[in-house]
Structure formats: C-alpha cells, structure tokens
Amino acid sequence: MQGLMQHGALTLDKIIDHAAQWHGGREVVTRSVEGPIVRTTYAEIHNRAKRVSNLLLSLGIRPGDRVGTLAWNTARHIETWYGIMGVGAVCHTLNPRLFPEQIAWIADHGGDKLIFTDLTFLPIIAGIIPRLPNVEHVVVFTDRDHMPADFRLAGDAPHFKGLLCYEDLVAEQSADCVWGGFDEGTAAGLCYTSGTTGDPKGVMYSHRSNFLHTFITMQPDVMGLSQRDVILPVVPMFHANAWGVAFSAPATGAKIVMPGARMDGAAIHELLETEGVTFSAAVPTVWQMLLQHLESTGGTISTLKKVVIGGAACPESIIRAFHEKYGVEVVHAWGMTETSPVGTLSTMTDALEKLPYDQQMPYRLKQGRPPMGVELKLTDDDGNALPHDGKAFGHLKIRGPIIAAEYFRGAGGKILDADGFFDTGDVATIDEMGFMQITDRAKDVVKSGGEWISTIEIENIAVGHPKAALAAVIGVPHPKWDERPILLVKLKEGETATKEEFLDFLQGKIAKWWMPDDVVFVDEIPLGATGKIDKKVIRQRMKDYVLPTIAAAAAGTATLAAADGAGAPVLYAPDPVETPEDVAEAVEPVHEPEVLAAQAEAETVSAEALAASLPDPEPTPVAHIAEAAEPEDVFPHEPLVEAEAKPLEPTPETAFDAPPVFVAEEAPLAMPIQPSKGRKAKAAKTETSGKGGWASPILIGAVVIALVPAALIVVGALGARFGLLDKAIAYDLMTRDLAPLVAWLSLGTGALGVVVAMIGGVQRHWKRALLALAITIGTLAVLFLATGVGGR
C-alpha cells in the first residue's frame, strides 16, 4: 500500500525558489574579483539565475549537458549554479589548483560544452581551450568595463568563438524561465576527485542527493545552520560543493558572505568582523593563517561562533586556540568528494559535553560520528567486520543516499561491495563512543609481515621533531616482510640532522616494529592540489630506492639474514611479547605540546610549500634521489569510454606558456584586471556574439514590418495636415493603398514570426512574435473599421 502524501521531486531549484520567496531580502555579500565588496540578495540571485538559464538555452545547452565553472566563491558563481541546475543541465566545478593539463583532461572527460570563469583564470583558459574541442564559448564573470582587451589563446582553436561578457548577457536575458519538472534523480553536479591515486574520477551528484545532503548538513549536530546565521564558506565551491553551503545557506535563509579570490588571514578576518559572520567552514591551513594573523596583529573575533574544519586532520593547536582565545567552537569533520561530502563530525555527545574540555579533546581530535542518513562500517582485508574498540583499524566503508554509487563514465568499474557500501580508501578506527578516527589512506598504509603500520601516526610524531619541517612515510619493498616503512624528512631552513636523531625521537612513541628502516632527508615533500602530501609522486620518485640493508646484502657486504631482519636489533612485525594493547597504546595519538605545535607548524609549512609547488608544472626533484628517478608521468591519460568523448589533441608546449596564476589557498590570483573602456566595437560584437540567437533578428524584422502600416497612415495624415504632402499621396497612396497592402504582408511575417519563435525557443521569443501579430491585427481592424464607416 502506498502512502497518500504529495510527491514533490527533490530538485535544487526549489531551494533558491524558497530563499527568494521567504528570505528574498537576505543579503549575499561578495568580495568581488574586481576588488570592491558587492551586495545582492537571494531575490536578486534568483532573478539572475533565471536569466542565466535563458542564456544557456540560447547557447544551445540542453538537459544533461555539462557546463564547467572555473571560479571563486562569488554571488555570480551561485547564480550560475542554480541557472545551470534549474534547466536540468549539469554544473561541473573545475578546480583551478590543478595543473592546466589536468584541468583540460577533466573538462574534456566531463564533456563540458561551455565554461564560466573569473578574470583571474583567463591564463588557464587560454592554455586549455585548444584542447577542448567542444567548448565554443567562455563566459567571463565580469562587466564590460573589465573585459580583457587582449585575450589570446595559447594555440590553435578554430572551434572557439570567443569570450562572452557575463553582465551583458545577464542584462539582456529575460527572467522568465520554467525550472524543474524533471526527475529528482537527474544529474545536477559533477566534481572530480583530486586523483592523488590514479586518474581523477567524476562524482555525479543528483538533485536528490544534494537536496538530502542539504537537510543533513542543516541539523543541529551537523552544521547546525539557521536563518539567523551569517555564513562564510571559505571552502571553495569547486571543492566538493563548498561542503554543501551554497545549498544549505539559501535553504535556511542565512546571510552568506563569499570571499572571492582572497583567503589570506587578513582578508578573512576583515570579512568575519565587518559582516558579522557567525559560521564558517574551511581546511586547517586557512584557519592556521587566520590564527597567525590574529596573533601577529592582536586582532579579535567578535561574532564567529562555530567553524567546521575538515579535508585534512585538524591539529589540536587550532582547536585550542579557537576555544581558549576566541570562544569559537571547532567541529572537526571528515568527508570526501564521493560523500557529497559530509561523512562524520566530531560533535560532542551529551555525555562528552559534560566532561572537562581537556577530557573532550581526544574525541574532538577524532573525525567523529556519522549523521542520520550515513552508515559506516569497518572491515579487514576480507570484508569481515572489525570491532568498534578504538584500537582495531581497518577499511572504512560508507553507505547512504548521499554517497556515490559509481563514477562518471564507469571509471574504476564497480565501486560498491555486496552490501552497497563504498570503500573510502581510508583506514580508520571506531571507538566505543562511535567516534571514527582516520589513521591512514589504504594505499599508503605499510603492510609489514601481514600487519598494518599507520604512516600518518609516524608522520605526526616525526614532524614534532624540532628540526623537522615536513615528514612523510612510505612503504618500500622488502624480500621477507613485503614492505617496510621509511621516513622522508624535510628539515627546517638551515638545520642539519642525522638519521639516529629521528629514530631516537620515535623510540617509545610507536610500536617497535613500526620503527622506519631508514630516514631519507629531502629538499621537498610534494603536495597535491588540495594541500595533502602527494605519496603517489613520492613513491614514483623513490621507485629505485633500495633499503640500505638489502643493498649491502646484494653488494656482498652484509648477509641476507641481516637484510631480512634476522639478527638485526629491529622488529618487522608485532613482537609476540607485545600484546595488542601494548601496540595500540604505543600508537595512541600523541598530544604532547611540542608534537602538536609542530603539527600546527607543518600545516603552515604545507601552505607555503603548496604555494611554492603549485605553479611549477614540473615535479620538484627530491634531494638525494633525484638522479635516480625517471621523468614521471604523474597524470597518465586513459582512453575515454563514452563514444561522445573526443580524444585529446596533443597539447602544444606553448599552450601552457602563460604563467600559471593560481598558487595556494592564501594567495589570491594576481592577473591584472584591465579596464577596456572604449574598446573596439568589433571586439564587442565578437564577445557578445550568439547572445540573441538567429531567431531574434527575424522577429525584430516582423515587429518593424507590423509597425509600417501605422507609420504610413500617421506620416500621411501629418504630411497632409501640415501641407507637406499632396492629398493624393498622403491619403490615396499611403493610407488607402499602401497601408492595407503592408498590413496583409505583415500578417504573413507575424505568422512566420510565431513559427520562428517555436523553433528558436518559445520561452525566449514568444513576446516578440505575439507583438508583431497583435500590431498587425490591430492595424487591420482599424482599417476595416475606417473603411466600414466610409471614412478616408
């Protein structure tokens, strides 16, 4: 038996419809890419999103087509999201922090037909368009005065018709557009995973999944959003949908503050204070920068109540600083692009809330518990469930209506187990209170003698060494134990150290058999586009590395027995005398002040290193091993699966000559914004080409023809009245003979206009078509009436 309730499809247009109708005056504030703070409202966003929909339809975008956005968090970006999704097209957020080659690959794999972008990303656009044969237009989020005067592509692209000016197009389009009317399972958004392991894979969100995610995130124990909040999403819209905030803010009617291109500590602090922000969300590096800014300037926080921190493990120093110095609650969260992204949050339970803050801290440092709608399980390699005892660590698996069921174009094949759970690729523990803690990525965990070693645990401790700037642990092959861990250390500026110093530092803090077999000092530890240590690149660089003991055995200077550990003073698997409790105890997170301080410092260094590493499209060589390493293909291309996907043309080297502009979270892009007032009319025409479509001129012609009879009569009458025209010409020729003739002709052109409107888009053209017909019919009626009463 079915329930007897109404079935409203959960489509995302309803969110912005609701915001416009019930919170229409609520502000949306943007630090614009052009510079000034710009204010708008949900009502205005709704109106302009409808215009964007009409623009898309006029450019030939149809339901299911992918439309790319390479853009900052701004009101224009929100309008465009809703404009795209409202007509059933798919919003494909592109991450500008990737290398241009990767962006081109992702846009091509996604099948993007049109791209919206900010001025700051035009150098990237210039490089990638020659590789995107389906992209005919790029719409620039700016007004005519800021359109670039001298945009040049870095390569041949005969298919490309030019840049279009967003504000011009929005002004020209009608705000009448019908949204929705499709199934809630329809695709709404596409976002590629960062691809630190293998090619990026597209996660295709549906209207329903994003709608449910919105409800989930609004709950008090999740983000706890309300109409009274002022929300600052620092996390970019291109990083897993800004954690859903571009949906949940309008859904609640909260004021939203968009940071644009500036995410440095000073810029974020200014927005927090001037706009009265109460809630914000970002990765740890952003908060580290804010806290440093506050520290150095003596700044204060007056309205902020809560921050959600995720994307990477949140150091204790950040949680403490927010709580103790500024009275702000930190909610540590875990999630992935594949999970929409919210998966778990370290919200305190009623029992924990009653404990002293220091006793809450171990739980606040964990990634937390799942909200209703998300199911978690922990398994061993064979899929057997592991206990929730906070010690056993295994594969973290997740299920629910906001979790990916497969990747776009079937990449990676089947991704769910027999029970429908998705393997997150993370290794974790879950404790008795239900708090999950990430201990590693499954691909990174070191398997020694059949047992797992958490690389993150060792790294977190090693980076606490006073001389360490960054630390990374990877597994290297071992003939007997399969793999053994080695520790790579980047020292702080001007420091020198020995291996023994680091091994001694780890003694007693980890299980004995976790002790790295070697310590390698490197100049650089590569970071990926989201600021995480890129172990794929490290493994590639270290592929010719051989453990010193094994190299010595091969050279005959040591016995193989020594190489496989026999007789050596190190352990390679859990010591039989070590109980599992000992091991668990030894690897329990360390909260010593110097370790935590260093963790925090490592986050900062990460941001700096990220800034330094991202603009360089060539991998940075690792000291001591660079000579041995082969040139690496960190981004291999796979043939595309779907027939409609076109293979990439080989990219001319010149395509990426334009200096990469994006650097890191804290560094705003620096492309000069050149006013182009008085630019040539020709260029203006090119940039706005296609704005009216082919139907517009025909319909304008029909309206003009319809007006001609009336014009003839009026001119004839005035000419005769003032003696300028002979009556024979004014009345006989113009009014009696020509006017009816043209009126009959215009009846034909008006009818033709209706046909044209039906082909060219009824929604856009019906007004002009009906106007032409109405004028004609009106004129004919007047003429018949006049003839009827015998008047000339």
* Strand ranges (E), 431-467: 436-441, 446-448, 451-453
Sole window of 208-216, 333-341, 399-407, 773-781 interacting with ligand AMP (rule: CB under 6 A): 333-341
Burial letters 383-402, b for 16+ CB under 10 A, else e: eeebebebbbbbbbbbbbeb
Is residue 243 flagged as an active site residue?
no
Is the CB of residue 389 less than 8 Å from the CB of residue 432? yes
Binding-site member from 218, 230, 336, 671 for ligand AMP (CB under 6 A): 336
Q: Give the residue nearest to ligand AMP (CB).
A: 337
Is residue 452 flagged as an active site residue?
yes
Q: Which is nearer to ligand AMP, 248 or 337 (CB)?
A: 337
Rounded-to-integer distance, Cα 692 and Cα 701, Å: 14
Smallest Cα–Cα separation from 244: which of 225, 220, 260, 266? 225
Rounded to an integer, what is the distance from CA 444 to the centroid of its chain? 25
Should residue 363 be labelled a site residue for ligand AMP when binding is judged by CB under 6 A? Answer: no
Nearest approach in angstroms of CB 157 to ligand AMP is 30
For 220, residues 6+ apart whose C-beta sits below 8 A from its C-beta are none
Burial of 354 (C-beta count, 10 Å sphere; 0-12/13-18/19+): exposed
Should residue 310 be labelled a site residue for ligand AMP when binding is judged by CB under 6 A? Answer: yes
| Residue 745 host element (H or E) | helix 739-760
Q: Which is nearer to ligand AMP, 426 or 524 (CB)?
A: 426
- The footprint of ligand AMP on residues 119-158 (CB under 6 A) is none
Burial letters 634-643, b for 16+ CB under 10 A, else e: beeeeebeee
Q: Which is nearer to ligand AMP, 602 or 757 (CB)?
A: 602
Tokens of 689: 């080409």
Instruction: Number of residues interacting with ligand AMP: please give it, by CB under 6 A.
Output: 21
Sole window of 1-9, 179-187, 347-355, 421-429 interacting with ligand AMP (rule: CB under 6 A): 421-429
- The footprint of ligand AMP on residues 273-302 (CB under 6 A) is none
Q: Which is nearer to ligand AMP, 191 or 667 (CB)?
A: 191
For 292, residues 6+ apart whose C-beta sits below 8 A from its C-beta are 265, 604
Smallest Cα–Cα separation from 478: which of 539, 545, 537, 534? 545
Nearest approach in angstroms of CB 168 to ligand AMP is 36
Should residue 426 be labelled a site residue for ligand AMP when binding is judged by CB under 6 A? Answer: yes
The CA distances from residue 788 to 439, 711, 716, 729, 780, in Å, are 93, 21, 20, 22, 12
Sole window of 160-168, 306-314, 554-562, 566-574 interacting with ligand AMP (rule: CB under 6 A): 306-314
Of 275, 338, 459, 603, catalytic: 338
Should residue 533 be labelled a site residue for ligand AMP when binding is judged by CB under 6 A? Answer: no
- The footprint of ligand AMP on residues 237-256 (CB under 6 A) is 240
The CA distances from residue 737 to 377, 712, 734, 774, 783, in Å, are 86, 10, 6, 21, 11
Of 179, 243, 334, 452, catalytic: 452
Rounded to an integer, what is the distance from CA 513 to the centroid of its chain? 40
Is the CB of residue 342 less than 8 Å from the CB of residue 372? no
Is residue 72 flagged as an active site residue?
no
Of 447, 480, 492, 767, catalytic: 447
Nearest approach in angstroms of CB 244 to ligand AMP is 13
Binding-site member from 438, 720, 742, 773 for ligand AMP (CB under 6 A): 438
Nearest approach in angstroms of CB 312 to ligand AMP is 5
Q: Which is nearer to ligand AMP, 260 or 341 (CB)?
A: 341
Should residue 311 be labelled a site residue for ligand AMP when binding is judged by CB under 6 A? Answer: yes
Site string for ligand AMP, 78-117 (x = CB under 6 A): ----------------------------------------
Should residue 711 be labelled a site residue for ligand AMP when binding is judged by CB under 6 A? Answer: no
SS (H, E, C) 470-485: EEEEEEEEECCCEEEE
Rounded-to-integer distance, Cα 103 and Cα 601, Å: 30
Rounded to an integer, what is the distance from CA 217 to the centroid of its chain? 17
Burial of 654 (C-beta count, 10 Å sphere; 0-12/13-18/19+): exposed
Nearest approach in angstroms of CB 193 to ligand AMP is 5
Nearest approach in angstroms of CB 494 to ligand AMP is 31
Site string for ligand AMP, 381-420 (x = CB under 6 A): ----------------------------------------
Sole window of 286-294, 331-339, 602-610, 699-707 interacting with ligand AMP (rule: CB under 6 A): 331-339
Nearest approach in angstroms of CB 776 to ligand AMP is 60
Tokens of 311: 């994307």
Alpha helices in 190-276 (DSSP H): 207-218, 245-252, 265-275
Q: Which is nearer to ligand AMP, 610 or 671 (CB)?
A: 610
Q: Which is nearer to ligand AMP, 438 or 506 (CB)?
A: 438
Sole window of 20-28, 244-252, 305-313, 348-356 interacting with ligand AMP (rule: CB under 6 A): 305-313
Nearest approach in angstroms of CB 363 to ligand AMP is 13
For tokens 């009623």, name the residue: 350
Binding-site member from 313, 510, 587, 783 for ligand AMP (CB under 6 A): 313
β-sheet with 329-335: strand ranges across: 37-41, 27-31, 255-258, 230-233, 279-282, 306-309, 329-335, 342-345
Nearest approach in angstroms of CB 526 to ligand AMP is 16
Rounded-to-integer distance, Cα 262 and Cα 536, Å: 30
Nearest approach in angstroms of CB 284 to ligand AMP is 8
Should residue 342 be labelled a site residue for ligand AMP when binding is judged by CB under 6 A? Answer: no
Nearest approach in angstroms of CB 516 to ligand AMP is 21
Residue 735, Ramachandran bin (φ over 0: left; ψ between -120 and 50: alpha; else beta)? alpha
Grouping H, G, I as helix, E, B as strand and the rest as coil, residue 657 is: coil
Q: Which is nearer to ligand AMP, 194 or 746 (CB)?
A: 194
Should residue 194 be labelled a site residue for ligand AMP when binding is judged by CB under 6 A? Answer: yes
Should residue 428 be labelled a site residue for ligand AMP when binding is judged by CB under 6 A? Answer: no
Start-to-end CA distance of the chain, whole Å, equals: 75
Sole window of 309-317, 507-515, 715-723, 746-754 interacting with ligand AMP (rule: CB under 6 A): 309-317
| Residue 487 host element (H or E) | strand 482-491
SS (H, E, C) 322-338: HHHHHCCEEEEEEECHH
Is residue 338 flagged as an active site residue?
yes
Is the CB of residue 703 less than 8 Å from the CB of residue 761? no
Should residue 206 be labelled a site residue for ligand AMP when binding is judged by CB under 6 A? Answer: no
Nearest approach in angstroms of CB 34 to ligand AMP is 30
Rounded-to-integer distance, Cα 602 and Cα 318, Å: 12
Of 80, 120, 193, 424, catalytic: 193
Should residue 367 be labelled a site residue for ligand AMP when binding is judged by CB under 6 A? Answer: yes
Should residue 193 be labelled a site residue for ligand AMP when binding is judged by CB under 6 A? Answer: yes
Grouping H, G, I as helix, E, B as strand and the rest as coil, residue 376 is: strand
Binding-site member from 23, 441, 465, 764 for ligand AMP (CB under 6 A): 441
Should residue 337 be labelled a site residue for ligand AMP when binding is judged by CB under 6 A? Answer: yes
Rounded-to-integer distance, Cα 369 and Cα 348, Å: 9
Nearest approach in angstroms of CB 309 to ligand AMP is 7
Is the CB of residue 329 less than 8 Å from the CB of residue 195? no
Q: Which is nearer to ligand AMP, 82 or 421 (CB)?
A: 421
Q: Which residues bind ligand AMP (CB under 6 A)?
A: 193-194, 240, 310-313, 332-337, 341, 367, 424-426, 438, 441, 530
Q: Which residues are annotated as catalytic?
A: 193, 338, 447, 452
